[in-house]
Structure 1
Amino acid sequence: MSEDGKIEWNPMEDEAPKGIIKRVEQFAYDLAWGVDKGLWGSLFGVTKSGLGTEWVNYANNTAFKAYLVQKWNEDPPDDLLLFSFKYLSIEHQHSRSNINYILTSNAFLLLKKPPKAPQIFVSYNHKESSALSLLVEARLKNKDSQIGIFIDKSINAGESWHPYLDEQLNQCEILVCLLTKETLKSTFVRKEINFALDNNKRVIPLCHAGYAIPDMNSHENDEVNNLLSRLNEVQAIYVEQPESAENYEIALLKLFIALGYSTI
């Protein structure tokens, strides 16, 4: 628990990911996180023998070993992979099978993004916000290729539309809704936002085309008014007027920060 009373994420409580690149990046993140939290130091030893590979931490091997057992079942990614991705550098090489590594700045840079790439559902009105939805998708994927982002252009021909959308909504952690004055006229967009709010998913409104979320009771439709009341309780991002490439860029930077990414 942090000093402000909030429960902090602990990587030892998560399962190890699948896929080589994801495993390497997660392990490097965890090592840097442990150093940052004072659980262990940045100097590691790796010894390879016929019995397998043994990792040690020279500052606090007890805590480090507990982490290796709990998350990786004592089988973390290969040290040479971390070295090739420049998350480790060689501090001293005793032999080909006995190497001391030190954690690099590249590993600590991983702490500038969320510990797990978020799963995002983008809710929008096609007529008003299709271009922005594609821009959001492209910029988020460029920021972190591991982000899971769904916009309904991904639906394949022949798939059942409503069940597929319901499945994507269930799987997402964050719903980003692109709002203009026309958006909430869509029954489907209202359903998507209400579903996210009802299921304690994080909702981030991104308002553009001069739209600002009004107070409730400003619309003739009671259903829209109820949703406006709910949206007024969350922090929205606005594309400032006049709309320009610079102001869209600023709004996207605010979205990165809201998702936990560094803008450096």
Structure 2
Amino acid sequence: MIGSARSLLFVPASRPDRFASAARAGADLVVVDLEDAVDPTARPAARAATRDWLARHPTVVRVNGARTDDHHADLEALAGSPELVAVMLAKAETADQVEHVHGRLGVPVLPLVETPAALEEIWSLARHAAVPRLVLGTLDLAAELGARPTWEPLLAIRTRLVIASAAAGIASPVDGVTVELDDDEAVRRDVRRASELGLHGKLCLHPRQVPVVHEALRPTSDELAWARGVLAAKGRVARFDGRLVDAPVRTRARAILARASRSEE
């Protein structure tokens, strides 16, 4: 499920009253957030609430970065949690940091790429055996780069994550958040742009974004018709709808049908 998750919905660890509603929102994965969404003074109570929730509910948890004082306290609180699906490591920068988290908790690690140092180490992060996919942290990364957190300034970085993921043979990356909470079209536009690049997952800040993400990632009827037509074309090199059909084209067609199948699950 981690590699094929379309939507990853954040919920603040300091708001356990929202955990159940987040779980009912239909997201593929719920991410209880111990980092940005929680005031430092509230983190001890947030850790306790998270641990209680993990006794019964499969969940991803975002922990504070390895260079912070809260990091080790987060890992200590999560150790032994029976329903911990994965850890999202904020400000992940090295494979050694991933190894430490994985060695401590024994679950997959989702590196949140949101610093220039992470971009330098993106290849080793993607190739770590505990990493099923990369996650892009657009807001923090843009702030560190002095860039606007809009589409064009981060285009090359999104492409870099896609290439690193493909080279490592892991699932497609998860794109960062869309901050417009009441603008479904903004979410839809961001998801479709990211999907065209090869990012087939999305971080969500609000439950209302979840169905929009799923709809935007679902192949259109025209795409499905094209994919089925391509795979029905006979011959190693064939022709469909006036265009060449060969192995790479069939690979793309199969990927479209696979995404459609996941959207129906």
The higher-RCO structure (CA 8 Å, 6+ apart) is: 2
For normalisation by structure 2, the TM-score amounts to: 0.25
Q: Which is helix-richer, 1 or 2? A: 2
For normalisation by structure 1, the TM-score amounts to: 0.25
